[in-house]
Amino acid sequence: MADWEIRAASAADVEAIAELRAVVLRGDLERLGRYDERRVRQRLRDGFEPAHTWVIEVAGTFAGCVALRPDADAGCHWLEHFYLDARLQGAGIGSGVLGELLERCDRDGLGGGVGACVVRLNVLQGSPARRLYERYGFVVETEDAVDVFMVRRATP
Protein backbone atom coordinates (compact mmCIF):
# COMPACT_ATOMS: atom_id res chain seq x y z
CA MET A 1 0.00 0.00 0.00
CA ALA A 2 1.22 3.47 -0.85
CA ASP A 3 1.96 5.84 2.02
CA TRP A 4 -0.91 8.25 2.46
CA GLU A 5 -2.09 10.87 4.91
CA ILE A 6 -5.33 12.72 5.43
CA ARG A 7 -5.59 16.33 6.46
CA ALA A 8 -8.52 18.60 7.19
CA ALA A 9 -9.91 20.21 4.06
CA SER A 10 -10.24 23.96 3.66
CA ALA A 11 -12.39 26.12 1.44
CA ALA A 12 -9.35 26.49 -0.85
CA ASP A 13 -9.58 22.75 -1.73
CA VAL A 14 -13.00 22.95 -3.37
CA GLU A 15 -11.87 23.40 -6.99
CA ALA A 16 -9.32 20.57 -6.89
CA ILE A 17 -11.96 18.29 -5.38
CA ALA A 18 -14.62 19.37 -7.90
CA GLU A 19 -12.24 18.61 -10.76
CA LEU A 20 -11.29 15.21 -9.33
CA ARG A 21 -14.98 14.37 -8.91
CA ALA A 22 -15.65 15.18 -12.56
CA VAL A 23 -12.78 12.97 -13.73
CA VAL A 24 -13.43 10.03 -11.40
CA LEU A 25 -17.21 9.89 -11.91
CA ARG A 26 -17.24 10.57 -15.64
CA GLY A 27 -17.24 6.94 -16.83
CA ASP A 28 -20.01 5.82 -14.49
CA LEU A 29 -22.11 8.92 -15.12
CA GLU A 30 -21.72 8.58 -18.90
CA ARG A 31 -22.69 4.90 -18.70
CA LEU A 32 -25.81 5.91 -16.77
CA GLY A 33 -26.58 8.76 -19.20
CA ARG A 34 -26.15 11.34 -16.41
CA TYR A 35 -22.87 13.12 -17.18
CA ASP A 36 -23.07 16.89 -17.41
CA GLU A 37 -19.68 18.59 -17.42
CA ARG A 38 -20.86 21.67 -15.52
CA ARG A 39 -23.32 19.99 -13.13
CA VAL A 40 -20.87 17.34 -11.91
CA ARG A 41 -18.57 20.07 -10.61
CA GLN A 42 -21.31 22.41 -9.36
CA ARG A 43 -22.99 19.73 -7.24
CA LEU A 44 -19.73 19.30 -5.34
CA ARG A 45 -19.31 23.04 -4.88
CA ASP A 46 -22.89 23.42 -3.65
CA GLY A 47 -22.57 20.66 -1.03
CA PHE A 48 -18.95 21.14 0.03
CA GLU A 49 -18.50 21.28 3.81
CA PRO A 50 -14.80 21.63 4.66
CA ALA A 51 -15.47 20.99 8.36
CA HIS A 52 -16.42 17.38 7.59
CA THR A 53 -14.05 16.75 4.69
CA TRP A 54 -10.51 15.41 4.53
CA VAL A 55 -8.01 15.64 1.72
CA ILE A 56 -6.04 12.50 0.92
CA GLU A 57 -2.39 13.11 0.11
CA VAL A 58 0.16 10.67 -1.24
CA ALA A 59 3.79 11.77 -1.02
CA GLY A 60 2.55 15.24 -0.07
CA THR A 61 0.46 15.59 -3.23
CA PHE A 62 -3.34 15.89 -3.54
CA ALA A 63 -4.71 12.44 -4.35
CA GLY A 64 -8.33 12.50 -3.26
CA CYS A 65 -10.87 13.37 -0.63
CA VAL A 66 -13.59 11.98 1.59
CA ALA A 67 -16.31 13.47 3.78
CA LEU A 68 -17.98 11.99 6.83
CA ARG A 69 -20.85 14.28 7.71
CA PRO A 70 -22.81 13.81 10.94
CA ASP A 71 -26.59 13.87 10.63
CA ALA A 72 -28.00 14.13 14.16
CA ASP A 73 -31.60 14.13 12.92
CA ALA A 74 -31.12 10.77 11.19
CA GLY A 75 -28.80 9.43 13.91
CA CYS A 76 -26.04 8.59 11.46
CA HIS A 77 -23.05 9.84 9.50
CA TRP A 78 -23.05 10.18 5.71
CA LEU A 79 -19.95 9.04 3.85
CA GLU A 80 -19.73 11.40 0.88
CA HIS A 81 -17.38 12.68 -1.79
CA PHE A 82 -14.99 9.72 -1.56
CA TYR A 83 -12.81 10.22 -4.63
CA LEU A 84 -9.32 8.94 -5.32
CA ASP A 85 -7.15 9.66 -8.34
CA ALA A 86 -7.69 6.72 -10.73
CA ARG A 87 -3.93 6.14 -10.99
CA LEU A 88 -3.86 5.33 -7.27
CA GLN A 89 -6.95 3.13 -7.11
CA GLY A 90 -6.30 -0.51 -6.28
CA ALA A 91 -3.25 0.25 -4.13
CA GLY A 92 -5.06 -0.08 -0.78
CA ILE A 93 -5.35 3.66 -0.17
CA GLY A 94 -9.15 3.77 -0.33
CA SER A 95 -9.40 0.78 1.99
CA GLY A 96 -6.97 2.35 4.45
CA VAL A 97 -8.77 5.69 4.45
CA LEU A 98 -12.20 4.08 4.83
CA GLY A 99 -10.99 1.86 7.65
CA GLU A 100 -9.51 4.81 9.53
CA LEU A 101 -12.65 6.94 9.17
CA LEU A 102 -14.93 4.11 10.31
CA GLU A 103 -12.68 3.51 13.33
CA ARG A 104 -12.91 7.21 14.24
CA CYS A 105 -16.67 7.16 13.80
CA ASP A 106 -17.03 4.03 15.95
CA ARG A 107 -14.71 5.40 18.62
CA ASP A 108 -16.30 8.84 18.80
CA GLY A 109 -19.86 7.93 17.83
CA LEU A 110 -22.47 10.48 16.88
CA GLY A 111 -22.48 13.37 19.31
CA GLY A 112 -19.62 11.92 21.36
CA GLY A 113 -21.18 8.56 22.26
CA VAL A 114 -18.97 5.48 22.13
CA GLY A 115 -19.79 2.45 19.98
CA ALA A 116 -20.16 1.59 16.32
CA CYS A 117 -22.04 4.34 14.55
CA VAL A 118 -24.48 4.05 11.68
CA VAL A 119 -22.94 5.22 8.39
CA ARG A 120 -24.92 5.71 5.20
CA LEU A 121 -23.75 6.38 1.64
CA ASN A 122 -24.87 6.19 -1.92
CA VAL A 123 -22.84 4.81 -4.78
CA LEU A 124 -23.63 4.86 -8.49
CA GLN A 125 -25.13 1.72 -10.00
CA GLY A 126 -22.36 -0.46 -11.42
CA SER A 127 -19.55 1.37 -9.62
CA PRO A 128 -16.65 -0.87 -8.56
CA ALA A 129 -16.51 1.16 -5.30
CA ARG A 130 -19.50 -0.85 -4.10
CA ARG A 131 -17.23 -3.86 -3.49
CA LEU A 132 -15.05 -1.77 -1.17
CA TYR A 133 -18.06 -0.69 0.85
CA GLU A 134 -19.37 -4.25 1.08
CA ARG A 135 -16.01 -5.42 2.47
CA TYR A 136 -16.50 -2.92 5.30
CA GLY A 137 -19.96 -4.19 6.21
CA PHE A 138 -22.17 -1.89 4.15
CA VAL A 139 -25.36 -3.50 2.85
CA VAL A 140 -27.89 -2.30 0.31
CA GLU A 141 -30.80 -0.47 1.89
CA THR A 142 -32.56 0.75 -1.27
CA GLU A 143 -31.67 1.43 -4.88
CA ASP A 144 -33.00 3.08 -7.98
CA ALA A 145 -31.89 3.25 -11.61
CA VAL A 146 -28.94 5.53 -10.76
CA ASP A 147 -27.99 5.10 -7.10
CA VAL A 148 -27.48 2.30 -4.60
CA PHE A 149 -28.08 3.45 -1.03
CA MET A 150 -26.06 1.48 1.51
CA VAL A 151 -25.84 1.42 5.29
CA ARG A 152 -23.39 0.11 7.86
CA ARG A 153 -25.42 -0.30 11.01
CA ALA A 154 -24.22 0.01 14.56
CA THR A 155 -23.57 -3.28 16.32
CA PRO A 156 -25.35 -3.87 19.63
d(CA 23, CA 65): 13
Q: Which residue spans within 2-155 are E strands per DSSP?
A: 4-8, 53-58, 61-71, 76-84, 119-124, 139-143, 147-152
* Opening angle at CA 68, ends 50 and 95, nearest 5: 115
Average pLDDT, integer, range 2-30 = 95
User: Which tens digits make up the pLDDT trace of 106-129?
Assistant: 887 654 455 568 999 999 999 999
Secondary element (H or E) of residue 39: helix 37-47
User: Which tens digits make up the pLDDT trace of 53-80?
Assistant: 999 999 999 999 999 998 888 888 999 9
User: Which tens digits make up the pLDDT trace of 18-46?
Assistant: 999 999 999 999 999 999 999 999 999 99
Q: Are 1 and 93 in contact (CB under 8 A)?
A: yes
pTM (two decimals): 0.90
Within a 10 A sphere around the Cβ of 138, how many other Cβ atoms?
A: 23
